[in-house]
Chains A and B, each alone.
Chain A
């Protein structure tokens, strides 16, 4: 067994209610580490052969909750949720913050593999090695806050009863879905702690399709032993000290960017990306702090950054709306992207989105898309069930969000996500509305535009990513650089919060891995073998796609058409992505990662990486 791992995984079949412990070979753990890497491997081994036929929202799909060897040691633990994505039809490694990953490892497991589909709503309760599938009838239909409240109380009560002299039980860590997940909305999230969400990938819908409302876990054991504890402790200090210096994020979280990115780098979605610039000082961070903050620090266990803040609307129409202060993505997508420019309205929508269990980015994207269609007269008030979807009308957007979460009326259509609803509306209206869909391979683009060239994503970041529009996994060269997807695969596979890894010396994360596991992994080896393997597997499954969508790199390895319109205003007015440059960069990228001119991984690279079976499987689409 490799150090740093709990050494076993929990496999739960919801159809048969069988629960068992499984182990993975050391070689597999060595090669794929954990989280996103391991998810890719497990999914390929178990579902790869019939990938195109597997319905992501059916009982055959597998839902994974995986930690990595660094979870709980690297400050800021996370859990990686994965499976066949109902958005991209490929694999997305979607991570969420909170204590879940750490609790799970303290309970003795590196991950949970969920198969099958429950007959009626259930939740899973894990207390160390005691695992129960429990009835969830009483929480089905409940919003995020109520779900957390009821399950926290219930689990603490059970624990108190079973262990009467333990003392007070700390609350368990809970992952749950809201109404959106229950109603199998493709933009539903797997959430934690009211406001944390694994959004990209749409795994809330997968969880809902399995009728799994939540997983609560309580682990009392220590974390798995590491190879060199002294060294791990020193490295924790390095990471912490670095985070303490990062004043901006400690003080404001990414929320500092609401105005900064909008006005200065000009890369914030405004009215469905019709613009990327605004000079709305009401979206300055001080405005949020003065008007809605009720607590400055709210953090996940053991995190030195504490990026969360508690926000609450104090008076006016939306009084009482509470959530984690919208981070930059939530500010952008549930603010300017909907034409909303006051912190109160922004917090109100963000709180609602959290309560419904929707993804703020992707629901903000699809609502912005619908609003643009309304602006253009393509969708009428009648189409929208009487909602006048005017830019800036928070109540109209709130009404629409509720319709989406419950799949009511127009919401049923928009619940399919931006790409799929664009196809449907296009057919309905006999018009090309895909040109207004700002997404890549079924996944909405994160709130960082590429036209001004001043934000971090580059011109192929989204077009060539194996996770589509995911702004936390962007493609770029050099392969061992900060903007490379291969490095992001490491964060998602070690499974820790990448916020705490910004600005640490280049090799600290690998030193961390080595001190934890006792193995030797260098940056070079990671980039040229292990991460590249994960990338090829993700690419292969993305290209197999199915059953409803398939991607052709020639068509779909592209930016949304909107990114080729010139920016209409601001300091970078007139700037746009250049199609010729995109094509050139794409060619270089394909070459660097070993893909042929059609974007399909070449035999040579696959053989070199020991992926002969992937090579054979890819024959059918070459």
Chain B
């Protein structure tokens, strides 16, 4: 696959960058919202699996997701959601290779993961306020 810049890391405010990926909510509102059962939950990882053949690109899962995390493939034919690479997350691998050591694998705990499903605006706001303090208001 050729490289595309449409990876989902945002930096709507310069310096404030973060990835925007599926948090695997325990109630999976996206799965429930899909009218054609194109979404399922992987046994091993709990990731949301997209059946690209079934998906009719209606966008309902985007609106159901509290973080508006699913996004349409640029060809407009099916949805994309992080599938945790079947338990071998490649993003973590390259992050370690480059020695940034920002990403790591954790086992699923007893937390409410839905809390992490947030829109880019919400995440930007929090991060920018943390980094820039009240100044951040000017950039948001």
Contact = CB atoms under 8 A, between A and B. Distances in A.
Nearest to B60: A165
Given A165-B62, A195-B14, A295-B131, A149 B99 contact: no
B98 A194 contact: no
A322 B135 contact: yes
B3 A73 contact: yes
Interface in A87-103: 99, 102-103
B15 A168 contact: no
Interface string B105-130: 00000000000000110000000000
Given A165-B72, A167-B59, A106 B12 contact: no
- Which DSSP category, helix, strand, loop or mixed, fits chain A's interface? loop
Contacts of B131: 294-295, 310, 312
Interface string A70-81: 001100000000
Contacts of A519: none
B5 interface: yes
A106 B5 contact: yes
A315 to B, nearest CB: 11
A565 B39 CA distance: 74
Contacts of A301: 5
Interface string B39-60: 0000000000000000001110
B13 interface: yes
A249 interface: no
Nearest to A324: B15
A320 B135 contact: yes
Contact of A302 (B3, B10, B99, B135): B3
B4 A194 contact: no
Contact of B5 (A99, A163, A304, A322): A99
B70 A171 contact: no
Given A294-B131, A298-B17, A171 B11 contact: yes
B98 A102 contact: no
B85 interface: no
Residues of A in contact with B, size category: 35 or more
A324 B17 CA distance: 14
A146 B137 CA distance: 11
B2 A165 contact: no
Contacts of A312: 131-132, 135
Nearest to B4: A222
A174 to B, nearest CB: 10
Interface string B1-31: 1111111111111110100100000000000
A221 B59 contact: no
Contacts of A585: none
Nearest to A166: B72
A221 B71 contact: no
Contacts of A240: 98
Most B CB within 10 A of own CB, among A220, A224, A294, A304: A220
B5 A103 contact: yes
A212 to B, nearest CB: 21
Given A164-B59, A167-B68, A168-B68, A222 B139 contact: no
Interface in A154-180: 156, 163-168, 170-171
Interface string A214-235: 0000011111111001000000
A168 B20 contact: yes
A193 interface: yes
Given A152-B12, A225-B2, A322 B20 contact: no
Contacts of A146: 138
Contact of A72 (B3, B70, B119, B138): B3
Interface string A295-317: 10110011010101010100000
A573 interface: no
B35 to A, nearest CB: 13
A244 interface: yes
Contacts of B69: 167-168
A171 B12 contact: yes
A221 B15 contact: no
Contact of B3 (A156, A220, A223): A223
Interface in A125-171: 145-146, 148-149, 152-153, 156, 163-168, 170-171
Interface string A461-474: 00000000000000
Given A156-B12, A167-B59, A168-B71, A304 B98 contact: yes
Most B CB within 10 A of own CB, among A99, A165, A294, A320: A165
Interface in A217-267: 219-226, 229, 240, 244
Interface string A520-543: 000000000000000000000000
10 contacts: A163-B72, A165-B62, A168-B10, A168-B20, A171-B12, A220-B4, A295-B15, A320-B133, A322-B132, A322-B135
Interface of A: 72-73, 99, 102-103, 106, 145-146, 148-149, 152-153, 156, 163-168, 170-171, 193-195, 219-226, 229, 240, 244, 294-295, 297-298, 301-302, 304, 306, 308, 310, 312, 320, 322, 324
